[in-house]
Chain A
Amino acid sequence: MKFKAEINVMPLKALLDPQGKAVTGSMKNIGLPEITNVRIGKHISIEIEAASKEAAQKKAEESCKKLLANPIMEFFEISIEESK
């Protein structure tokens, strides 16, 4: 079966996110000062061939731990759907 995983890799909450900070500053300039604390990460979408959703979840987690995210600076969230 084929699955599709949508992965968000985000800077750890305790760390400064310079990109997010710059965009937060721009919100004021476009007249949206009520928008604060912008955090910017990466959205990665992958396809996985696996026997079950659990197996696909495991593979996706492995890819995050080994390559897609660096735990010293980032955390990740995965959501998996079967590809139609």
Chain B
Amino acid sequence: MKFGVVIFPGSNCDHDMIYVLRKIMGQEVVELWHKETSLQKCDMIILPGGFSYGDYLRSGAIARFSPIMEKISEFADKGGYVFGVCNGFQIACEAGLLPGALLHNSDRKFHCKNVFIKTQNNHTLITSGIPKDKALKIPIAHGEGNYFNDAESLKQMNENGQILFRYCDEKGNITPEANPNGSIENIAGVCNAKKNVFGMMPHPERASDTELGNTDGKFLFESILSLVQA
């Protein structure tokens, strides 16, 4: 499978993502500079974490107008797979590829720590291989990860299985205490209605190498490969 990892000025999780996809998952990966306009026939485009354009104006607001984003929107419209992590999630929301927005964390703090998330829909490209009901331990690192959408949109997203992950405790209980940033309904990750664009605040690429003592993020990459290569 061929992955394209987009690099914006200010991306800083691009190489973690490339390392995991190339070295751990053994896949072909190309780096796509944000000014490029060719997606090089990639099967999946990754929008990595970081602080594109210094988070000026709003996180992801300026990156969404980078030249490559127009091509990525066309690619997604045709059913191409796009996966945004952290700042990539923020960019995908700003670009309208995903519903909702990411607000400042409700407690005003930047959180960099392991959290637990529970899969809410096991029938998508990035979640199918995750053991059902397992609380995944995956780190977050953000100041603006407070997911928000209006009540009507949330209702539709819930009915349509677009909520992918919710923050939970170690045992998998979805509680207010387990919510690190004030996200509405504890939402940590979502997908679009067509289920080909995915976004999440936790960093699966930081939890995929045994050297780091935590490999729960690898379930997501294995899901992608098992479905696409099946």
On A, residues with C-beta under 8 Å from B are 15-16, 18-19, 21-22, 42, 67-68, 70, 72-73
Contact call A72/B61, Cβ cutoff below 8 A = no
B119 to chain A, nearest CB (A): 25
B136 to chain A, nearest CB (A): 27
Contact call A72/B100, Cβ cutoff below 8 A = yes
Please name all residues of chain B whose beta carbon is closer than 8 Å to the beta carbon of A19 when the two chains form the complex.
104, 108
Q: Does B106 contact A (CB under 8 A)?
A: yes
Contact call B94/A70, Cβ cutoff below 8 A = yes
Name which of B62, B94, B103, B150 has the most chain A CB atoms within 10 A of its CB.
Answer: B103
On B, residues with C-beta under 8 Å from A are 57-58, 61-62, 65, 94, 100-101, 103-108, 148-150, 182
Contact call B149/A72, Cβ cutoff below 8 A = yes
Please name all residues of chain A whose beta carbon is closer than 8 Å to the beta carbon of B104 when the two chains form the complex.
18-19
Please name all residues of chain B whose beta carbon is closer than 8 Å to the beta carbon of A72 when the two chains form the complex.
100-101, 148-150
B91 to chain A, nearest CB (A): 12
* A67 to B95 CA separation, bound complex (whole angstroms): 10
Contact call B103/A67, Cβ cutoff below 8 A = no
Please name all residues of chain A whose beta carbon is closer than 8 Å to the beta carbon of B182 when the two chains form the complex.
16
A43 to chain B, nearest CB (A): 13
B170 to chain A, nearest CB (A): 27
* A70 to B104 CA separation, bound complex (whole angstroms): 13
Contact call A67/B105, Cβ cutoff below 8 A = no
Contact call A70/B61, Cβ cutoff below 8 A = yes
Contact call B57/A73, Cβ cutoff below 8 A = no
Closest to B65 in A: A67
Please name all residues of chain A whose beta carbon is closer than 8 Å to the beta carbon of B148 when the two chains form the complex.
15, 72-73
* A44 to B104 CA separation, bound complex (whole angstroms): 20
Please name all residues of chain A whose beta carbon is closer than 8 Å to the beta carbon of B108 when the two chains form the complex.
18-19, 21-22
A54 to chain B, nearest CB (A): 26
* A68 to B56 CA separation, bound complex (whole angstroms): 11
Contact call B106/A18, Cβ cutoff below 8 A = yes
Closest to A74 in B: B58
Contact call A73/B101, Cβ cutoff below 8 A = yes
Closest to B62 in A: A67
Contact call B61/A67, Cβ cutoff below 8 A = yes
Please name all residues of chain B whose beta carbon is closer than 8 Å to the beta carbon of A42 when the two chains form the complex.
57
Further contacts, 5 of them, CB under 8 A, given A16-B106, A19-B104: A18-B105, A67-B57, A67-B62, A67-B65, A73-B148
* A30 to B88 CA separation, bound complex (whole angstroms): 40
* A21 to B103 CA separation, bound complex (whole angstroms): 14
* A67 to B182 CA separation, bound complex (whole angstroms): 25
* A70 to B150 CA separation, bound complex (whole angstroms): 13
Closest to A16 in B: B106
* A42 to B103 CA separation, bound complex (whole angstroms): 15
Please name all residues of chain B whose beta carbon is closer than 8 Å to the beta carbon of A22 when the two chains form the complex.
108
* A67 to B58 CA separation, bound complex (whole angstroms): 9
* A73 to B57 CA separation, bound complex (whole angstroms): 13
A42 to chain B, nearest CB (A): 8
